[in-house]
Structure formats: structure tokens, C-alpha cells
């Protein structure tokens, strides 16, 4: 009985257990159904979220991939037999473009030997058509190009590709030089995978193994040496998200990465990454993409980078500040070498290539990061383009803008400005850094702008004095007075003017004075202009009419002056660029050219978008202009410009000084180029420099390294004595050759 009593509870226990299991399964089934229902309910908003996210990603990704800043190019250097260029200057131009010494069978490489250079020029699409890569041999002789040879024979002329001198990036400062997959080195792509994302080819946008591997490596190193984000996740962060470290942002990044991987191929994603990733900061300019990174750090195209240079760019990805090769070179070098080791580990480079790469320094350029940028010149380019293009077009459509800038001349002008300012301040006891300078250089015959200096610090953005500083021009205005007189045909260069005391009762008894407070009596017109005498100039101005002179100022500068006799002494305020318009008429034989900086614009597919033709307007007859030019040549040789080492080079020029020596001016031109130079202080206080002592000295420095092209002299020139205006033999010490009207025969005289 006892045993049976023990069995009865066991049956109840088994029945209870079955009931419990049944009840549990019922609960599980119920919860499962509830879970399914909840999942279905949740799927609706999640689905809408993913659809909205997909639309946002697609629209932004597609738009951003083709948002390209306009790229601005200088004028190309033309090579031809007889061109004034020596072998050293040619090599400097190649280095400016990022060419390297090496095997010249490769584009972007050259080899120099004696007075010759063998170089393979890169392919380039010019406005008039493409040029394929070509190997040429250029020989030099006595400071000129002797001949140019290619494999097919002699070449009459050929152009170097123009350097990039600016760009129109977006308002938030992003700049990039987009490269296609075919322009991207395989070594870069494989290095990115090896260092940043080893499972890039197979993962769906995220990589759990990569996250685990990075965590383990960071644990072993005791610091963050690797990241767990895939290249796709990094691309999402750069495109769409902030860098805040929150779970919400990370989940959003993950979702976006999955959508990108679903929508686009691995090739498209890698190319987007290569063109998007942030690689540095240069002032307000953000360097994005490896295309621009190669130019910024090494001044050469991405396709020409060596292994150690690719490794450095990949180094910078991890932290553009932390691994900045300019600020933290030792830190950047150490990581670069580790990446080179990884490249060897993954058999991307062999042992010899690794050894060679490790021997290289960082080799980053220090003076031309991403091409030489010229803010002052770019200001004028923007002013011209503003008439035809909006900012969005310039920042997004990938236009290629070709300009008239001469980089070599621009560098010479900036150097002359900087060096001369320091020298003048030191020599004359002027407060260091107080002098400012502006320079405008234009082509004499066409008016094309070749160089602009907006201040003594040429690389800095800021107030552009060449375009915006209005200052009294002093005696630079006087040639306009004499042109008006010559145009009346009542005056010529030997006409007699009176340099005697003058008081103008109709103008508050104003009594003009000469600079030296002296009077010379009757003098020829050419001397009055060449010696920049005030009193005879005022007499002449009143004779021809102040209104006529004022109208000419308006015609040439679009600036209305005060119509008072002091106008003829330069009380009108003009910018250096406006002054260059006046002298462009003299240099151009009576034609006023448009202020031109842009020649051609191509679209992103290298199709012609616009061509800017030369436009000129004849505003003066040639005969009086020719006479004026010979007078200004005499002003250099015998007058206020006689102290210049280039006084007898055949150039024409005029100095200008304002009351109290507040402004120092010089305008000079020859058959090739016209220069206007201004020196002063921003607060308009006196500095004690006349035009001949200050501004002309800057011009002298520029012309020291430029081959002068004398103004073309017409037929029928007459030799006269500069002081008396009489006809004299050419060997006389004060003899000058001038243009006189037909029928004018000055009295003859021997040398006095």
C-alpha cells in the first residue's frame, strides 16, 4: 500500500508538467503572434523611413558627384625657335607644372643635359583642341630657344599646358579636382582597401570582422590606430552626416551605407570616395579628393604619384590635422612608413620598392600647394565673369576657364613689390610694413591683363588696391592734357609754352607752382611734359579746355572728375586699373581695349562654352598718339625718368607724385607690355617718396628680368634738342627723336 501511495503523486506531477508545457507553448505562440503583429506594425514606418532615406541619398549622391568647381588656368607658355627663354627658366616652368627629373619616356618627366631638355609633355585639352602626350627635345642658345625636335622631326611651335591659378569653389569652401576611375592609380585603390577596408569588395556596407579586427589592434596598441568604419561608411559621413559620436548618428550611418551599397557599384563608390574624402585645409579652402590632394601636397597629377606619395595621402585620411605633414612631419612620416609596410605585406610593392620608398622624405611642396593661386588676379576674373555667370554655375558645372595671366611675369611683379617695399623702408627710415603697393601689367597692343599685384603680400586675400584703391594720380594725368593739345593741331612737340608765374583770378586767384618752385621762361612743349612742369601744363589745359580734358577722363575711366583747373595736375582719384586704361590708349596707338582676363571657357566635357574676343574702340588718331609716345620716350631718356637704368631702352614712361608725397606713381610701356605702379599708405599719410624714387624703382626691378621691346618708330622722325626744341644732329647730348606733323620744320642749331 505504501508503494502505491507513492505512485499516485507521480501521475499528478506528470499531468501538471504537461499542462505547464502546454501553457508555456501557448504563451510563446501568443507572444510570437504579438511580435509578428508588432513587427508588421513597426515595418510600416521603418519602410517609409528607408524609402525617404533612399530618395535623399540618391538625389544627394547623384548631384554631389557632378558638383565640380570651375578651374581657372593661366596662359600657356608658347615654345618656338627664337623665343627669349634660357634653359634654367625653362626648367623652372616645368617644375612649376609639377614635372620631375626622370625617365622622359613617361609624361611629366624630363631630363636636362648641357643646353638641352628632353621632356614628355602631358596630354591636355586646349580651347582650340586636344594635344596628346608628346616627347620633345628643346635646345637653347644664347638665352633663346634654338630648336624643338620630336620623333617626327622639327616642330615650329608647341605649348606647355597652362598651370591652374584658381578655382570657384562653393560658399562653404570645398575645392576638388575630380578624377575618373581610369585616371586613378590601381596602387591607390588597393592601398585604400588594405589600410582602410580589407573586405570592401564583399561587405554590404558594414564589416563586423573589420570592426573586431580594429578593436583588437587598438587594444594591443593602447591607442586608436585603426578605425572600424568601412570606406562606404566614411563616404556617408563625408556626404551627409556630422561627426558627432552618438548611437543615433551611427545607426543612421549604417542604414545609409547599406542603401549606397545596394544602389551603386563598388567602382562607383570607390570613385566617389576618392573624389570626396577631406585631405586638408588651406585657409578657407578645403582640400577634397585625391585629385586635388596630389596637386596640393605634391604639385603633380594623381596618376604620376610614386608609392611613398600615395602612402602619405592615405596617411592624412586618418586625421588631416593630427597627421598634417607641414605641422607634424615626424608623426606623418611614421604613419606613412607603416602604410608602406602594409603595402608590402599585401604585395602591392616589392621589397626593392619598399626600400626605395622608405628612403624618401615627405617631399611635400612648400610654395605652390595645389597650383599657385593669385587672389588679386582672381578678383578681376570674378569681376569679368560676374556679367555672364552666377556663382552656382561657377561652383558646380566644372567649367574650365582660360585666362591671360602670365605666371612668370606675375611672380616677377610680386617679388619686385615685396623686395622694393622692404628696401625703401630700410633706406629711407620709413616704418617697416607701412608702405603698400599695387601693380597692373597689361599687353600693350591688346590690353590683356598679364599680372595684378593688390598689395605687398601677394598670397593673401584682402583689399585689392590695384582694383579698388582710389588715389590722386598726380602728374600721370598730364599726358592726357598734352594729347588734347596735339589733337587740336595748334600744338606740336616743339611748340613754345610759357613757364612763368600764373594766377587764375577766375579760380580764387589760384597760383600753381612747379615742383622745384622755379620758372624757366619759354620752353618747348616736349620739355614741359618730360620735366613734368606744372605751370605750363595748367596754361595748356586752360587753352584746350578743362571740360574737354574731363570728358576724356570719363571716356577712358568711367569716372567723373571735378572740373577745375587743378584736374590737369592730377587731383582726380583713380585706381591703378583705371589709370592703365588711359595708358593703354597710348600703348595701343589710339585704341581703347576692353579690360580682358578671360579668353575661353570650356565645359566639363571640354566643349566650347564661350570665347571672349578682343574688343577695341578707337578714341584717338594715330598721329597725335605717335607724337605723344615719342615725347614720353624723351621723358624717360631726358626728363623725370632719366635715372632709370632702362631710360634709354626705348620705353615710354611718366612719373607721378601727389601733394605731400602721399602717392608715388609710375606708368611705363614698351612694344610688349604696359605697367602701372602705385606706392602709398592705406591711411593716406605722407611717406616722402616721389614717383621717380618709389614707384619707378618697382618698375625698374620688373624690367630687369624682362626683355624690353622698344616702341615701333614711324617714318619721318625728327631729331631735336630736348631743352630748346631746335633741330640738331643726332650726336648731340640732349638729342631726342620725335614725331612732328608734316610741314613743321624747327629752327636748326648745333649742339649747345
Residues with catalytic annotation? 196, 475
Single out the residue of 330, 279, 317, 88 nearest to residue 176, CA to CA.
279
Sequence-ordered list of residues with C-beta below 8 angstroms from that of 156, at least 6 positions apart, any chain: 80, 81, 148
- Which value, to the nearest 10 degrees, does the dihedral of the CA atoms of residues 48, 54, 59, 60 take? 110
Evaluate the CA torsion angle 271, 272, 275, 279 in order and state its sign: negative
Beta-strand relationship, 78-80 and 157-159:
antiparallel
User: With b meaning 16 or more CB within 10 Å and e meaning fewer, what string describes 637-676?
Assistant: bbbbbeebebbebbbbbbbbbbeebbbbbbbbbbebbbbb
How far is Cα 345 from Cα 288, in angstroms, rounded to an integer? Answer: 28
Asked whether the beta carbons of 616 and 593 are under 8 A apart, the reply is yes
Sequence-ordered list of residues with C-beta below 8 angstroms from that of 564, at least 6 positions apart, any chain: 507, 546, 571
Instruction: Specify the DSSP element, H or E, that contains 697.
Output: helix 695-704
Sequence-ordered list of residues with C-beta below 8 angstroms from that of 442, at least 6 positions apart, any chain: 448, 449, 450, 580, 584, 673, 674
DSSP annotation of 459 reads T
C-alpha cell at 428: 629711407
CA angle 273, 275, 279 (to 5 degrees): 90
C-alpha cell at 724: 630748346
How far is Cα 438 from Cα 415, in angstroms, rounded to an integer? Answer: 12
In sequence order, what DSSP letters do the residues of 230-269 get, joined into one string? -HHHHHHHHHT------HHHHHHHHHHHHHHHHHS-HHHH
Per DSSP, which regions of 184-235 are E strands? none
Sequence-ordered list of residues with C-beta below 8 angstroms from that of 522, at least 6 positions apart, any chain: 496, 497, 498, 499
How far is Cα 155 from Cα 238, in angstroms, rounded to an integer? Answer: 48
3-state secondary structure of 647: coil
3-state secondary structure of 716: coil
In sequence order, what DSSP letters do the residues of 470-521 get, joined into one string? -EE-GGGGHHHHHHHHHHTTS--TT-EEEES---BGGGTTB----TTS---E
Amino acid at each position: 500500500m505504501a508503494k502505491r501511495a507513492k505512485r499516485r503523486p507521480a501521475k499528478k506531477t506528470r499531468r501538471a508538467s504537461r499542462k505547464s508545457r502546454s501553457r508555456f507553448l501557448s504563451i510563446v505562440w501568443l507572444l510570437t503572434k504579438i511580435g509578428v503583429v508588432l513587427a508588421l506594425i513597426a515595418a510600416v514606418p521603418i519602410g517609409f523611413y528607408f524609402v525617404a532615406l533612399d530618395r535623399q541619398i540618391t538625389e544627394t549622391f547623384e548631384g554631389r558627384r557632378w558638383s565640380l568647381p570651375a578651374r581657372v588656368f593661366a596662359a600657356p607658355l608658347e615654345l618656338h625657335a627664337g623665343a627669349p627663354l634660357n634653359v634654367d627658366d625653362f626648367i623652372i616652368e616645368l617644375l612649376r607644372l609639377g614635372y620631375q627629373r626622370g625617365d622622359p619616356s613617361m609624361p611629366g618627366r624630363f631630363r636636362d643635359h648641357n643646353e638641352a631638355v628632353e621632356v614628355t609633355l602631358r596630354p591636355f585639352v586646349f580651347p582650340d583642341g586636344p594635344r596628346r602626350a608628346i616627347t620633345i627635345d628643346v635646345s637653347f642658345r644664347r638665352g633663346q630657344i634654338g630648336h624643338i625636335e620630336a620623333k617626327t622631326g622639327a616642330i615650329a611651335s608647341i605649348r606647355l599646358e597652362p598651370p591652374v591659378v584658381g578655382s570657384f569653389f562653393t560658399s562653404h569652401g570645398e575645392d576638388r579636382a575630380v578624377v575618373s576611375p581610369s585616371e586613378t592609380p590601381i596602387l591607390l585603390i588597393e592601398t585604400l582597401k588594405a589600410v582602410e577596408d580589407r573586405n570592401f569588395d564583399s561587405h554590404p556596407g558594414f564589416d563586423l570582422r573589420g570592426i573586431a579586427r580594429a578593436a583588437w589592434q587598438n587594444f594591443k596598441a593602447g591607442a586608436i590606430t585603426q578605425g572600424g568604419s568601412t570606406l562606404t561608411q566614411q563616404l556617408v559621413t563625408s556626404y551627409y552626416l556630422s561627426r558627432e559620436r552618438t548611437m543615433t548618428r551611427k545607426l543612421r550611418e549604417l542604414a545609409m551605407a547599406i542603401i549606397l551599397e545596394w544602389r551603386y557599384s563598388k567602382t562607383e563608390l570607390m570613385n566617389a570616395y576618392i573624389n570626396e574624402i577631406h585631405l586638408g585645409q588651406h585657409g578657407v579652402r578645403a582640400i577634397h579628393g585625391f585629385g586635388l590632394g596630389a596637386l596640393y601636397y605634391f604639385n603633380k597629377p594623381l596618376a604620376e604619384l610614386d608609392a611613398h606619395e600615395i602612402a602619405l595621402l592615405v596617411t592624412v585620411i586618418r586625421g588631416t590635422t593630427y597627421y598634417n605633414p607641414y605641422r607634424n612631419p615626424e608623426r606623418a612620416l611614421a604613419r606613412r612608413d607603416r602604410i608602406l609596410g602594409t603595402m608590402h605585406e599585401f604585395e602591392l610593392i616589392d621589397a626593392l620598392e619598399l626600400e626605395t620608398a622608405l628612403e624618401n622624405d615627405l617631399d611635400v611642396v612648400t610654395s605652390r600647394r595645389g597650383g599657385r593661386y593669385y587672389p588679386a588676379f582672381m578678383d578681376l576674373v570674378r569681376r569679368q565673369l560676374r556679367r555672364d555667370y552666377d556663382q552656382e554655375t561657377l561652383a558646380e558645372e566644372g567649367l574650365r576657364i582660360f585666362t591671360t595671366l602670365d605666371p612668370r611675369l606675375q611672380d616677377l611683379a610680386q617679388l619686385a613689390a615685396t623686395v622694393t617695399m622692404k628696401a625703401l623702408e630700410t633706406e629711407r627710415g620709413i616704418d617697416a610694413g607701412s608702405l603698400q603697393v599695387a601693380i597692373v601689367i597689361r599687353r600693350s597692343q591688346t590690353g590683356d591683363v598679364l599680372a595684378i599685384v593688390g598689395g605687398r603680400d601677394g598670397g593673401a586675400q584682402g583689399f585689392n588696391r590695384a582694383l579698388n584703391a582710389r588715389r590722386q594720380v598726380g602728374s600721370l594725368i598730364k599726358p592726357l592734357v598734352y594729347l588734347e593739345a596735339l589733337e587740336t593741331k595748334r600744338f606740336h612737340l616743339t611748340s613754345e609754352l610759357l613757364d612763368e608765374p600764373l594766377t587764375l583770378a577766375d579760380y580764387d586767384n589760384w597760383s600753381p607752382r612747379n615742383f622745384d618752385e622755379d620758372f624757366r621762361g619759354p620752353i618747348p612743349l616736349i620739355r614741359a611734359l618730360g620735366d613734368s612742369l606744372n605751370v605750363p601744363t595748367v596754361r595748356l589745359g586752360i587753352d584746350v579746355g578743362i571740360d574737354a580734358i574731363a570728358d576724356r577722363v570719363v571716356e577712358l575711366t568711367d569716372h567723373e572728375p571735378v572740373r577745375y583747373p587743378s584736374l590737369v595736375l592730377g587731383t582726380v582719384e583713380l585706381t591703378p586699373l583705371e589709370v592703365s586704361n588711359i595708358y593703354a590708349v597710348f600703348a595701343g596707338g589710339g585704341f581703347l581695349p576692353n579690360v580682358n582676363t578671360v579668353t575661353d571657357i570650356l565645359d566639363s566635357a571640354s566643349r566650347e562654352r564661350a570665347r571672349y574676343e578682343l574688343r577695341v574702340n578707337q578714341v584717338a588718331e594715330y598721329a597725335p598718339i605717335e607724337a605723344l609716345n615719342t615725347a614720353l620716350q624723351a621723358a624717360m631718356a631726358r626728363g623725370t625718368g632719366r635715372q632709370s637704368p632702362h631710360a634709354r631702352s626705348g620705353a615710354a614712361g611718366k612719373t607721378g607724385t601727389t601733394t605731400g608725397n602721399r602717392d608715388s606713381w609710375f606708368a611705363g610701356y614698351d612694344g610688349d607690355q604696359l605697367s602701372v605702379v602705385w606706392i602709398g599708405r592705406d591711411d593716406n599719410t605722407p611717406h616722402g617718396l616721389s614717383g621717380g624714387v618709389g614707384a619707378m624703382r618697382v618698375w625698374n626691378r620688373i624690367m630687369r628680368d624682362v626683355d624690353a621691346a622698344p616702341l615701333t618708330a614711324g617714318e619721318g622722325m625728327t631729331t631735336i634738342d630736348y631743352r630748346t626744341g631746335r633741330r640738331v644732329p643726332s650726336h648731340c647730348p640732349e638729342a631726342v627723336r620725335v614725331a612732328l606733323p608734316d610741314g613743321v620744320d624747327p629752327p636748326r642749331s648745333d649742339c649747345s
